[in-house]
């Protein structure tokens, strides 16, 4: 283990993003900072967030309603301030991205526009084992449209003896469903297995059958490289409290491709904030949706949540997605290498996440063959924070923004100790 600790130290010294670690608050137990590997569930708080939220509280305190139009960030335009950074993170134009609501709400709004069953084209394709909220959302949307989920909700199975789904199999299924397929809705990165789906290929196949194609980027945004515009994705939704570090329950995000977003005739669920801002305050009933993703906004901006989002996005601007991904490949590769090479861990752990670095993000999902929960509890008592998923899986995500190579080596060492203690 000594060699490994030395190696981790030298990787940390050579890490050009190492200084970002000090820009985050790490939770402590008895004054000792934890090993935090749970940024896939809730990202850490940037040190600058508190001031950013305070600034808006002060602005409100000092200006009341006039805060909407005064100061360097008038609230009336608040949804515009995140566009530049978000567009880069998801590979889109600024007119295609907006931060609003929460993920599941945005998924419903997107489906109201892009799940339009007609004739025999009624089916939605998702992956088996989808995140429950996504399953509930598509299930209820089918019911809402008068359909029958037993027939219309198709779930892709994983490969035999594998935890992931090959792109060939996805495309084959899309082609088989053909003109019965109304919409494909898959994850960017699957929350349980950590598989990074091939967005471009899947979208192309969906479009070839005449179906719309959307992605849930909850675990992909701020984690893996995305090119939503060039890949011609119809819509995408995300939350910002995982890799985007914007705080619990923070504002979500929506992408709608410009070829769709510029079409004012697309049916949608509307609210006043999605309407032509020049006439918004005339308070009449002339419906004139903004010809961009902003036309899907319902309500005026939740400024306090959005302020925290902006503070975090500044760090993404500073670090750059390309640099983050570069480090992420090394960091997760290092974790995989230490697990695979450990003699103590052999036979105790299977990695569910694809071993191809291009087919995953930061997360590795570790299947524990025995005593999973009790090993997990031992790690928790050693000040490691990660997450547990039934039946026997620990998800660990070394996040390139704030985790170090030493976090990874310390974690693997503690995992070895936990397994050894469990055996005795």
Q: Which positions touch ligand PLP (CB under 6 A)? A: 102-104, 131, 133-134, 187, 191, 216, 218-219, 239, 252
Between 216 and 234, whose beta carbon lies closer to ligand PLP? 216
Sole residue written with tokens 């349980």? 192
Minimum distance of ligand PLP from residue 250's CB (angstroms): 9
User: CA distances (Å), 62 to each of 56, 88, 302, in order?
Assistant: 10, 34, 18
Between 218 and 307, whose beta carbon lies closer to ligand PLP? 218
Between 115 and 405, whose beta carbon lies closer to ligand PLP? 115
Determine the Cα–Cα distance for residues 184 and 3; give it in Å rounded to an integer.
47
Contact 188, 360 (CB under 8 A): no
Minimum distance of ligand PLP from residue 240's CB (angstroms): 9
User: Is the four-CA dihedral 141, 108, 38, 406 of positive or negative sign?
Assistant: positive
Between 245 and 404, whose beta carbon lies closer to ligand PLP? 245
Q: Count Cβ atoms below 10 Å from residue 109 Cβ, excluding itself.
A: 24
Minimum distance of ligand PLP from residue 312's CB (angstroms): 16
For residue 171, what is the DSSP state? Answer: H
Strand partners, 289: 275
Minimum distance of ligand PLP from residue 93's CB (angstroms): 24
Minimum distance of ligand PLP from residue 387's CB (angstroms): 11
Between 122 and 193, whose beta carbon lies closer to ligand PLP? 193
Nearest by Cα to 310 from 44, 26, 85, 54 = 85
Sole residue written with tokens 């310390």? 410
Minimum distance of ligand PLP from residue 171's CB (angstroms): 22
Q: Which region holds residue 43: left if phi is over 0, alpha if psi is between -120 and 50, else beta? A: beta
Minimum distance of ligand PLP from residue 324's CB (angstroms): 19
Determine the Cα–Cα distance for residues 362 and 383; give it in Å rounded to an integer.
21
Minimum distance of ligand PLP from residue 218's CB (angstroms): 3
Between 305 and 332, whose beta carbon lies closer to ligand PLP? 305
Determine the Cα–Cα distance for residues 193 and 408; give it in Å rounded to an integer.
19
User: Is the four-CA dihedral 223, 219, 25, 10 of positive or negative sign?
Assistant: negative
Contact 242, 42 (CB under 8 A): yes
Between 219 and 327, whose beta carbon lies closer to ligand PLP? 219
Between 174 and 254, whose beta carbon lies closer to ligand PLP? 254
How open is the CA angle 264-225-411, to the nearest 5 degrees?
Answer: 135
Q: Count Cβ atoms below 10 Å from residue 239 Cβ, excluding itself.
A: 24
Minimum distance of ligand PLP from residue 136's CB (angstroms): 10
Between 203 and 246, whose beta carbon lies closer to ligand PLP? 246
CB-hemisphere CA count at 13 Å for 304? Answer: 7
Minimum distance of ligand PLP from residue 422's CB (angstroms): 30
Nearest by Cα to 145 from 175, 119, 178 = 119
Minimum distance of ligand PLP from residue 262's CB (angstroms): 27
Determine the Cα–Cα distance for residues 192 and 5; give it in Å rounded to an integer.
29
Contact 154, 124 (CB under 8 A): yes
Contact 258, 292 (CB under 8 A): yes
Give Cα 354 to chain centroid, integer Å.
18
Determine the Cα–Cα distance for residues 272 and 250; give it in Å rounded to an integer.
22
Between 39 and 187, whose beta carbon lies closer to ligand PLP? 187
Between 133 and 392, whose beta carbon lies closer to ligand PLP? 133
């Amino acid at each position: 283990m000594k060699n490994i600790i030395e190696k981790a130290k030298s990787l940390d010294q050579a890490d050009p993003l190492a200084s970002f670690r000090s820009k985050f608050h790490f939770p402590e137990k008895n004054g000792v900072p934890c090993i935090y590997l749970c940024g896939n569930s809730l990202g850490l708080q940037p040190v600058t967030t508190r001031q950013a939220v305070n600034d808006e509280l002060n602005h409100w305190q000092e200006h009341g309603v006039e805060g909407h139009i005064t100061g360097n960030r008038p609230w009336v335009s608040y949804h515009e301030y995140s566009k530049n950074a978000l567009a880069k993170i998801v590979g889109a134009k600024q007119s295609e991205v907006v931060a609003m609501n929460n993920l599941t709400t945005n998924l419903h709004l997107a489906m109201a526009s892009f799940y339009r069953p007609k004739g025999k084209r009624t089916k939605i394709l998702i992956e088996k084992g989808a995140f429950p909220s996504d399953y509930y959302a598509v299930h209820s949307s089918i019911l809402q449209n008068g359909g029958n989920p037993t027939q219309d909700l198709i779930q892709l199975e994983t490969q035999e003896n594998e935890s992931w789904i090959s792109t060939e199999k996805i495309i084959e299924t899309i082609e088989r469903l053909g003109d019965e397929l109304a919409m494909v809705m898959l994850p960017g990165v699957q929350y349980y297995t950590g598989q990074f789906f091939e967005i471009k290929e899947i979208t192309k196949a969906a479009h070839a059958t005449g179906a719309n194609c959307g992605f849930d980027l909850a675990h992909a945004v701020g984690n893996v490289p995305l090119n939503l515009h060039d890949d011609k994705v119809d819509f995408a939704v995300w939350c910002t409290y995982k890799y985007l570090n914007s705080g619990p329950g923070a504002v979500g995000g929506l992408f709608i491709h410009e070829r769709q977003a510029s079409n004012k005739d697309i049916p949608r669920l509307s609210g006043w904030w999605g309407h032509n801002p020049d006439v918004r305050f005339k308070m009449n009933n002339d419906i004139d949706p903004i010809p961009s993703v902003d036309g899907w906004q319902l309500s005026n901006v939740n400024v306090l949540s959005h302020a925290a989002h902006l503070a975090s996005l500044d760090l993404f601007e500073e670090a750059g997605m390309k640099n983050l991904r570069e480090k992420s490949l090394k960091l997760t590769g290092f974790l995989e290498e230490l697990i695979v090479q450990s003699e103590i861990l052999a036979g105790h752990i299977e990695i569910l996440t694809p071993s191809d670095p291009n087919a995953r993000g930061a997360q590795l999902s570790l299947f524990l063959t025995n005593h999973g929960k009790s090993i997990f509890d031992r790690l928790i008592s050693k000040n490691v924070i990660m997450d547990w998923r039934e039946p026997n899986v620990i998800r660990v995500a070394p996040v390139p923004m704030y985790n170090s190579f030493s976090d990874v080596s310390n974690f693997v060492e503690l995992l070895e100790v936990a397994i050894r203690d469990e055996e005795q």
